[in-house]
């Protein structure tokens, strides 16, 4: 019965094998750690049960029938394994090394014509159950803020704020913000940065688009800048879509305690990265029986293919980039002073940029 329910979930097989690929982390902890956590249920079945729960919106009752255990056991195992997975966040959700950053920036430039891009930042809301006594005026959700790279691998995760909190308010409260502003131990090297939409503040290490609201007139160079910026930033939206489609539990987490919901969200983020690192790519097309693409929607970014799906090859975008009049940013206040520099090209447009901050951050759980 279990095999029939899980036969199409390749991630389940890989997660069971995690104890073999990394025996000192998850497998060892679960086998020899807390003996009281349903010892009669094999570890493999606990992992499969957790994957099934994360991949479905079904109830504990349905899971108990499939796995032939009580609802209480399903609940206990699911939250225990999610908690253990959060302990792997430091290993699977981390900021890239300088060497890895160089590869990522080359990929972004080839795909979108943007030099120096380490990742893109964005946020989404995860629905949770309404807490008892809630006035009904608050949006029942939790904000998930994340930074992803060119392959939609999550580099930084922060969650816990109410679902109606704007990105401009969440980012300054996150550890990432301080690390983007610290000059003593830079997280991002000089001449490198992340991209974010207009909801985010402009920083020396966070590049946002020109404001197109109102009657303000923009030059062709600024409009090109915004078009390329928007295409690059779509990667984080694709990442969230894949995360929610693959782990459908994130459509609605039936808990009222924020710390518990945070752990479920973070566990899904860990598995999202684990799947990508294991070469297990997911496409929303799988849900409709369509052909699986190996481009952006499948969670697999291949330089030319990704660019082609957006109507341009990587080289064409690079050529467009060379035509652009880039801007020079003020690093004295940490905010961007958008003043065109005339004939400045991609080799010196980032002159004066200061990459800033500290070590990895991944959650507030």
Q: DSSP of 261-318, one letter per residue?
A: HHHHHHHHHHHHHHHHHTT----THHHHT-PPPSSGGGT---HHHHHHHTTS-HHHHH
The answer to whether residue 350 is domain-embedded is no
The answer to whether residue 248 is domain-embedded is yes
Residues 208 and 297 in one domain: yes
Residues 28 and 63 in one domain: yes
The answer to whether residue 171 is domain-embedded is yes
b (16+ CB within 10 A) / e for 207-230: bbbbeeeeeeeeeeebebbbbbbe
The answer to whether residue 359 is domain-embedded is no
| Cβ(156)–Cβ(362) below 8 Å | yes
Residues 212 and 71 in one domain: no
Q: Show which of 67, 87, 107 is a domain's final residue.
A: 87
Residues 104 and 242 in one domain: yes
Residues 221 and 278 in one domain: yes
Range of the domain at 232: 95-340
The answer to whether residue 360 is domain-embedded is no
> 10 Å Cβ neighbour count for 337?
12
b (16+ CB within 10 A) / e for 114-148: bbbbbbbbbbbbbbbeeeeeeeeeeebbbbbbbbb
The answer to whether residue 356 is domain-embedded is no
Residues 80 and 197 in one domain: no
Token pair belonging to 327: 């801007």
Q: How many domains does the chain have?
A: 2
Query: Which whole-number Å values give the CA distances from 139 to 126, 131, 207, in the listed order?
Result: 10, 11, 29
Q: Show which of 39, 54, 87 is a domain's final residue.
A: 87
Residues 50 and 70 in one domain: yes
> 10 Å Cβ neighbour count for 265?
27
Residues 198 and 259 in one domain: yes
The answer to whether residue 357 is domain-embedded is no
Per-residue pLDDT of the chain (365 residues; tens, 9 = 90+): 444 444 444 555 555 555 555 544 565 556 555 555 677 888 888 989 999 999 999 999 999 999 999 999 999 999 999 998 998 899 899 999 999 999 999 999 999 988 999 999 999 999 998 776 665 555 589 999 999 999 999 999 999 888 888 999 999 999 999 888 877 777 888 889 999 999 999 888 999 999 877 677 788 898 999 999 999 999 999 999 999 999 999 999 999 899 999 999 999 999 999 999 988 877 655 554 444 333 333 333 333 333 332 233 333 333 333 333 233 222 222 323 333 333 333 223 222 222 222 222 344 33
Residues 301 and 175 in one domain: yes
Residues 141 and 113 in one domain: yes
The answer to whether residue 82 is domain-embedded is yes
* Contact partners, residue 70, CB within 8 Å, separation at least 6: 64
Residues 142 and 162 in one domain: yes
Note the pTM of the prediction, 2 decimals: 0.73
Residues 59 and 189 in one domain: no
Half-sphere exposure of 153 (CA within 13 A, CB side): 24
């Amino acid at each position: 019965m279990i095999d029939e329910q899980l036969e199409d979930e390749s991630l389940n097989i890989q997660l069971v094998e995690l104890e073999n690929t990394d025996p000192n982390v998850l497998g060892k902890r679960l086998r020899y750690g807390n003996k009281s956590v349903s010892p009669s249920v094999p570890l493999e079945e606990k992992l499969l049960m957790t994957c099934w729960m994360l991949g479905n919106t079904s109830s504990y009752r349905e899971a108990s029938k499939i796995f032939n255990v009580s609802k209480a056991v399903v609940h206990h195992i699911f939250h225990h394994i999610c908690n253990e997975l959060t302990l792997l966040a430091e290993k699977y959700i981390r900021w890239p090394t300088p060497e890895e950053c160089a590869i990522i920036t080359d990929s972004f430039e080839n795909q979108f014509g943007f030099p120096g891009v380490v990742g893109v930042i964005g946020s989404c809301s995860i629905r949770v159950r309404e807490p008892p006594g809630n006035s009904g005026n608050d949006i029942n959700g939790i904000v998930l803020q994340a930074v992803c790279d060119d392959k939609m691998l999550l580099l930084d995760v922060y969650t816990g704020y109410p679902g109606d909190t704007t990105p401009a308010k969440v980012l300054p409260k996150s550890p990432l913000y301080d690390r983007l502003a610290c000059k003593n131990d830079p997280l991002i090297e000089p001449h490198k940065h992340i991209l974010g939409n207009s909801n985010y503040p402009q920083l020396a290490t966070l590049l946002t688009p020109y404001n197109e609201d109102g009657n303000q007139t923009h030059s062709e160079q600024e409009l090109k800048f915004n078009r390329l910026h928007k295409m690059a930033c779509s990667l984080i939206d694709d990442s969230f879509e894949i995360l929610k489609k693959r782990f459908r539990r994130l459509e609605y987490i039936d808990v009222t305690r924020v710390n518990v919901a945070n752990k479920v969200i973070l566990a899904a983020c860990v598995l999202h990265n684990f799947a990508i690192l294991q070469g297990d790519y997911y496409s929303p097309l799988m849900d409709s029986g369509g052909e699986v693409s190996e481009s952006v929607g499948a969670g697999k970014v291949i330089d030319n293919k990704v660019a082609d799906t957006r109507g341009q090859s990587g080289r064409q975008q690079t050529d467009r980039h060379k035509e652009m009049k880039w801007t020079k940013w003020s690093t004295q206040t940490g905010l961007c002073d958008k003043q065109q520099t005339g004939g400045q090209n991609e080799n010196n447009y980032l002159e004066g940029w200061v990459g800033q901050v500290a070590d990895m951050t991944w959650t507030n759980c």
